[in-house]
Amino acid sequence: MRRLFSVVMLLAVAMSATAAKPKFEIKHVEPLSWWVGMTTPLQIMVNGEGVSAYDVTILPEKQGVEVTKVHKADSPNYIFVDVAIAKDAKADVYRLCFSDGKRKYEYEYVIAERRADSKYRESFTNADLVYLIMPDRFANGNPENDFTDDTAEKAQRSHPGRRHGGDLEGMMAHLDYIADLGATAIWSTPLLLDNENGASYHGYSCSDYYLIDPRFGSNELFKEYVEECHKRDLKVIMDIVPNHSSTTHWWYADQPFADWTHQWDKYTQSNWTFSTNMDFNASKSDLYQMESGWFDRSMADMNLDNPYLLHYFKQWAVWWVEYADLDGFRVDTYPYNEKGPMSEWCKAVMAEYPNFNIVGEVWTSSIPQLAYWQGDNANKDGFNSNLKSIMDFPLHDAMRAAMTEAGSNVAWGQGMTRVYDVLSHDFVYHDLSNMMIMAANHDTDRIGDVCEGDSRKMKIVHTLLATLRGMPQILYGDELMFRSTDRSKGHPTLRVDFPGGWDGDAQNLFDKAQHSGAQKDVYDYTRAIMNWRKTKDVIHSGKTMHFIDRDNTYAYFRYDDNDVVFVYINNTDSVCEIPWARYAEIAEGLTEGRDVITGEIVTMTGAKVAPMSALVVEFQR
């Protein structure tokens, strides 16, 4: 298979001139390489027929790199090799030397020089706007990689659940579009090899943790993609899945240890009840099934209680950060992993990169359960996840519900009151700055569908994302109010292709000149407010004061000692006059401000807001 380092086993050297050359092959060595000066200890997993019968040393000697221990696995075809690297070790191409007393084999292994400032790299923060891409559906920059000989599924763009051909080259071709929108970070769904026979486009069933899917590109091209992002001040967040791998992974048929994946007498799915992690009343059997049951028959559930597997995933994460120069991680299905080992995993990554950020997918509408998973939260059971950031699904749910409850006659607790209620629970969270907020992602209905194609509602949604606390994330195409092709058919039809990403598309929406109507209205508004947000420190780190009303409006201030921003959401079908005197405790002395969209001066006393619209006004104290 294509690898970053094309490692070739040197010819066997027979101990006897007359001895027959044996057939021996090292199939996999992971991590693929390493660096001098790392905090994470190096343990190399070696896979090859009968490799456990061999002793291992490393050459050249006396350069600060040596094998300290070799661990055997349950399978004779694996060993785990501990390698000590001195702080002053020489970066070089080393040779792993395998010997069974009669025969010797060598394998090249690169230990490189680490970039000087790598350890203290910066990561994504609440000053960023995260743009979420599903690579297969974004743009096809290289049609020649739509089909590869060594992957199972071929592209079939006419089928919503098949691969459509989007790739890294397509993403790179449109980085300027993303940066111009106001985004400062890109999260793409997984790019690693997913070799399922069907629906492999989503990437969440990994078949090789060290290999970019060839239908997206290569390891080298991914590194180039990150470099191109950085040239445009775009950070790169890698989506990773330690909870499960594909049953097509090369190790699945011959696992290193009997407990490498969770084993059951018969197929058993997770009960998907991750409240069992913090529920004092939960049975142990329910907790075990939650974290050890499988997501799907094709997704083997990984057992992070195995210390070799846990260390494998620690190194794997660090390797990709160091190799590709990444800026952050998003961890899929976070609570379904064993929580103790995952806490250790987070701590290890943060030890290697103290300023790094990791956001976990914790899909729950329960605010206390969500808060439990953020690192340093004051949990009653003493558990600390060490997970820096969490995804705010309660706010996601509230925003979406409010958009379906527009109008002047909503019931008690509905409409914009839902958003107020969620924000009223902010006292529960440990760190509001490290919460990713969103109205949609690749697993939810398109927000354009929720808003029923109403550009006014879409602009309200993007106003909330741009001005509330936390790190906003938008799904590709939401800036243009993309809608699903057929909501009844689930995920594949909401993961629509970006028009213009394929040769021959009738329309190219990457070209602003081709925007029109409601799509243009939403795009222009989103671009304006998100670019304004980029330099507005009070939005990134200021406090919030909000005011309760039951008329389906919502008013709040973002403020600090020097700056004030006022946001008024009118989710009704009538013109609303802003009750400015009501906000006197914070608004005293503020009489005129600037509309951040139009640039016009707004006199607040008597100011009115049109139906189904938002007003954002900035002041200077």
Contact (Cβ atoms closer than 8 angstroms) between residue 414 and residue 453: no
Contact (Cβ atoms closer than 8 angstroms) between residue 564 and residue 621: yes
Q: Which amino acid is residue 184, in one-letter code?
A: T
Centroid of chain to Cα 288: 26
**Signed CA dihedral, 249, 253, 259, 262: sign only:** positive
Contact (Cβ atoms closer than 8 angstroms) between residue 440 and residue 478: yes
Contact (Cβ atoms closer than 8 angstroms) between residue 215 and residue 196: no
Rounded CA separation 341/356 (Å) = 19
Q: How many CA atoms lie within 13 A of 350 on its CB side?
A: 16
Rounded CA separation 133/33 (Å) = 29
- H or E stretch covering 307: helix 307-324
| Nearest residue to 193 (alpha-carbon basis) of 253, 232, 245, 156 | 245
Rounded CA separation 221/223 (Å) = 5
Work out the angle at residue 163's Cα, subtended by the Cα atoms of residues 158 and 167, and round it to the nearest 5 degrees.
Answer: 120
Q: How many helices (H) and strands (E) does the chain have?
A: 15, 29
| Nearest residue to 554 (alpha-carbon basis) of 463, 447, 437, 429 | 463
Rounded CA separation 7/551 (Å) = 67
Rounded CA separation 386/50 (Å) = 39
Secondary structure class of 596 (helix, strand, coil): coil
Centroid of chain to Cα 379: 25
Q: Which two tokens stand for residue 289?
A: 């099934």
Contact (Cβ atoms closer than 8 angstroms) between residue 194 and residue 204: yes
**Residue 114 exposed, middle or buried by CB count within 10 Å (0-12, 13-18, 19+):** middle
Rounded CA separation 249/194 (Å) = 8
Contact (Cβ atoms closer than 8 angstroms) between residue 75 and residue 255: yes
Annotated catalytic residues are 332, 361
Alpha helices (runs of H) in 432-516, residue ranges in sequence order: 447-450, 455-467, 491-494
> Is the omega angle on the peptide bond into residue 368 within 30 degrees of 0, that is, cis?
no
